[in-house]
């Protein structure tokens, strides 16, 4: 590309949202026809649907949400738990309520909550769903909920978009708001070599130097260059920025290898189960419990049989002080949520 054109192209790509909205107005007319013909209710505007699924298709929006609820229930069953046993459930990264809309039937006995960085989606949710409460959150923690608030937190296709640094911060935050006996259900693009679609000698096509999901391909496994695969093989984690839109390089697609989840993320929260392809037969599910700070161990003072409370108080903590939630066996190794990435 002519270097003089680049600033112009950058400006267009960074501000594509208003252009998309203009054409979305026309699509909205078509929506009204489809909604009328199918009888679907609670259908968000086209740009909100597009933002969470990369396609405006109403059928996809409806079916994907129904499939999400089924996958959540199956994963909970594997742990002997049921949605109706819970009193507070949080949909972290709820977008425009694609999954929460399928929870209306349990809203009488369970309090439902949704939070997202997309304040426009949250504003729409508030007008559409009278059976759940919503918050917008910032790009960085904290969430606007007290400690130990939720029996279940699910984050569907959210950790598949975070940088390594962001995923650590958000996992620590989810740990804070999870109840001691709660479960956090996260989905991952779990890397296995056979999942990669793109032949080795074909790099991902670029449009003005950028990989654009949707224009190139809708399949996340068609979005990896050889350098990304090398990173996944080596480190077990790769973040591929979209490099487009208002969030620029801060947003993209994140791939995890199972053993990375098992070794790195369990330094923050203990893993209860890992279900390959457990989410809609496409994403892997990690089910995490809560890690709670371990009480500092009192240092024994020679010559005294009972612990000296005063001495123990003034001793600095011996090191990382996170462990599994009460009632459970403590993990083999103490976990340190601030440990550097592997």
Ligand X SMILES: C[S@@+](CC[C@H](N)C(=O)[O-])C[C@H]1O[C@@H](n2cnc3c(N)ncnc32)[C@H](O)[C@@H]1O
What residue ranges bind ligand X (CB under 6 A)?
52, 68, 93-95, 98-99, 116-118, 137, 139, 156-158, 161, 170
- Reported for 306-313, long-range contacts at CB under 8 A and 24+ positions apart, including other chains, are none
Residue 112 corresponds to which tokens in the numbers above? 């439902």
Query: Beta 271-279 vs 283-288: how paired, if at all?
Result: antiparallel
- Smallest distance, ligand X to C-beta of residue 90, A: 11
Smaller CB separation from ligand X, 24 or 158: 158
Listing DSSP states for 64-109 in one string gives HHHHHHHHHHHHHHTTT--GGG-SEEEEET-TTTTTGGGGGGGTTT
Smaller CB separation from ligand X, 175 or 325: 175
Smaller CB separation from ligand X, 65 or 323: 65
What phi, psi does 265 have (nearest 5°)? -70, -25
Could you tell me if 242 and 210 are in contact, meaning their C-beta atoms sit under 8 angstroms apart?
yes
- Smallest distance, ligand X to C-beta of residue 336, A: 22
Smaller CB separation from ligand X, 26 or 139: 139
Could you tell me if 147 and 175 are in contact, meaning their C-beta atoms sit under 8 angstroms apart?
no
C-alpha closest to that of 256 among 282, 231, 236? 236
- Smallest distance, ligand X to C-beta of residue 57, A: 13
- Smallest distance, ligand X to C-beta of residue 305, A: 51
Smaller CB separation from ligand X, 186 or 325: 186
Smaller CB separation from ligand X, 17 or 311: 17
Listing DSSP states for 107-124 in one string gives TTTSEEEEEES-HHHHHH
What phi, psi does 250 have (nearest 5°)? -75, -10
- Smallest distance, ligand X to C-beta of residue 97, A: 8
Could you tell me if 285 and 173 are in contact, meaning their C-beta atoms sit under 8 angstroms apart?
no
Smaller CB separation from ligand X, 5 or 74: 74
For every residue of 204-243, which 3-state class applies, written as one string?
Answer: CCCECCECCCCCCCCCHHHCCCHHHHHHHHHHCEEEEECC
- Smallest distance, ligand X to C-beta of residue 124, A: 12
- Smallest distance, ligand X to C-beta of residue 129, A: 13
Tally of CA atoms within 13 A in the half-sphere of 101 that contains its CB: 21
Please, what is the Cα angle at 244 between 243 and 248, to 5 degrees? 65
- Smallest distance, ligand X to C-beta of residue 11, A: 23
Smaller CB separation from ligand X, 136 or 226: 136
């Amino acid at each position: 590309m002519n270097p003089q054109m680049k600033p112009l192209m950058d400006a267009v790509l960074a501000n594509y949202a208003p252009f998309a909205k203009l054409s979305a107005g026309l699509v909205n007319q078509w929506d009204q026809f489809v909604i009328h013909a199918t009888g679907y209710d609670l259908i968000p505007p086209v740009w909100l649907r597009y933002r969470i699924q990369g396609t405006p298709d109403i059928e996809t929006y409806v079916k994907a949400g129904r499939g999400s609820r089924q996958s959540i229930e199956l994963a909970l069953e594997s742990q002997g738990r049921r949605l109706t046993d819970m009193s507070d459930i949080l949909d972290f990264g709820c977008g425009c309520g694609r999954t929460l809309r399928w929870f209306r039937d349990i809203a009488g006995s369970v309090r439902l909550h949704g939070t997202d960085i997309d304040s426009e989606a949250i504003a729409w949710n508030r007008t559409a769903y009278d059976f759940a409460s919503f918050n917008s959150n910032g790009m960085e923690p904290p969430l606007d909920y007290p400690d130990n608030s939720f029996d279940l937190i699910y984050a569907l296709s959210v950790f598949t978009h975070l940088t390594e640094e962001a995923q650590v911060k958000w996992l620590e935050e989810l740990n804070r708001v999870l109840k001691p006996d709660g479960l956090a259900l996260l989905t991952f693009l779990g890397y296995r070599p056979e999942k990669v679609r793109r032949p080795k000698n074909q790099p991902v096509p670029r449009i003005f130097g950028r990989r654009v999901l949707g224009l190139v391909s809708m399949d996340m496994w068609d979005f990896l260059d050889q350098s990304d695969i090398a990173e996944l093989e080596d480190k077990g984690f790769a973040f591929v920025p979209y490099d487009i839109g208002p969030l620029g390089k801060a947003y993209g697609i994140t791939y995890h290898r199972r053993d990375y989840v098992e070794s790195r993320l369990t330094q923050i929260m203990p893993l209860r189960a890992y279900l390959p392809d457990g989410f809609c037969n496409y994403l892997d599910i990690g089910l995490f419990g809560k890690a709670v700070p371990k009480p500092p161990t009192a240092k024994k003072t020679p010559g005294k049989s009972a612990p000296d409370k005063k001495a123990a108080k003034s001793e600095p903590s011996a090191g990382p002080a996170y462990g599994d939630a009460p009632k459970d066996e403590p993990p083999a190794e103490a976990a340190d949520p601030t440990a550097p990435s592997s």
